[in-house]
Amino acid sequence: MKIQSMTDHTGAEVLGVDLARPVAPEVREALNRAFVKHSVLVIRDQALKPAEVLAGVELFGSVFLQHNTRFALPECPQIQYLSNQDKFPDGRPYIPGEGWHTDHSNDTRPPKATVLYAVTLPDRGGDTQYANMAAAYEALPAATQQRIANLMAIHVYQSSHSTRKLMALAEDARERVPNAVLHPVVRTHPERDRKSIYINPIRIEGIVGMDHKEALPLLDELLVHSTNERFQYRHKWRPGDLVLWDNRCLLHKANGDYDMDQMRYLYRVMLQGDVPRH
Ligand SMILES: [Fe+2]
């Protein structure tokens, strides 16, 4: 197995591993260490059936069940699919994941990681972008670090400030999904003791004890700062890529910049995480 960095802050490529076969304990440990160190792992050249994707993902933790059940694979419901062929009820295409976000932050224990496995890709475009929120935190002026140190944000399923509309929850999910949860705006990574900015434009409704007039510009300022190109890794998908990323210290976004007549279809699995802590 070979693991090589893709930028100086985020992303590593993993070669020489076949997740369809049993993985030795020392390889599993090395993969987990690399995941925590690089935040995005790109495991190349996989040819996996749904059950093999699941077994590969479980090397890194236990599966977190997605809130919206409408995208589950019938033959393997722990896996959801992402497809550009899905439409809103009014017929517009639904491009999941457009706009910077971190997955399911409206959960009390948001998923620590999300995994995508490329099944069918368009000829070009459809990259996934990542912003390293730990590097972004470290580059903040000390005064801003102090200003946000103890803030708590209110996360909901769909922020009323978000311009990106999500697909409505399936009926059975509405009761399971909390109305609102509080998470720190600065969280410490539980496995490496490093602080990150933890914001989510599609889910944050406000900041506790702060007027919207102050909170919304502050959140915007943090987002513009964090998503600067110098904190980014941009993943260009290749067939057979299995990509695992750390939601505790990254934002990510999809791009709907490709030919929509071409199919783009990926499997998605998330892994259980902890309660975010200051
Ligand atoms: Fe996402």
Mean pLDDT, rounded, for 93-120 = 92
Per residue in 228-254, pLDDT tens?
Answer: 999 999 999 999 999 999 999 999 999
- Residue partners of 25: CB distance under 8 A and separation at least 6: none
Distance 278 CA to ligand 1 centre (A): 23
Distance 103 CA to ligand 1 centre (A): 5
Distance 105 CA to ligand 1 centre (A): 10
CA distance 56 to 33: 15
Q: Which of residues 171 and 140 earns the better pLDDT score?
A: 140
Distance 143 CA to ligand 1 centre (A): 31
Question: Which two tokens mark 12?
Answer: 């590593």
Identify the pLDDT of residue 175. 66
Distance 267 CA to ligand 1 centre (A): 12
Distance 164 CA to ligand 1 centre (A): 12
Distance 148 CA to ligand 1 centre (A): 24
Distance 129 CA to ligand 1 centre (A): 10
Distance 251 CA to ligand 1 centre (A): 8
Q: Which of residues 267 and 174 earns the better pLDDT score?
A: 267
pLDDT at 91 over 70: yes
Distance 215 CA to ligand 1 centre (A): 23
Identify the pLDDT of residue 158. 87
Q: Please, are residues 249 and 197 in contact by the beta-carbon 8 Å criterion? A: no
DSSP, collapsed to helix, strand or coil, labels residue 245 as: strand
List the alpha helices (DSSP H) in 49-91. Answer: 50-57
Distance 253 CA to ligand 1 centre (A): 7
Mean pLDDT, rounded, for 88-102 = 83
Of the pLDDT bands very low, low, confident and very high (cuts 50, 70, 90), residue 90 is confident
Distance 268 CA to ligand 1 centre (A): 9
Distance 97 CA to ligand 1 centre (A): 5
Q: Please, are residues 94 and 3 in contact by the beta-carbon 8 Å criterion? A: no
pTM value is 0.94
Distance 3 CA to ligand 1 centre (A): 25
Distance 247 CA to ligand 1 centre (A): 9
Distance 101 CA to ligand 1 centre (A): 6
Distance 1 CA to ligand 1 centre (A): 28
Nearest Cα to Cα of residue 250 among 272, 226, 220, 222: 226
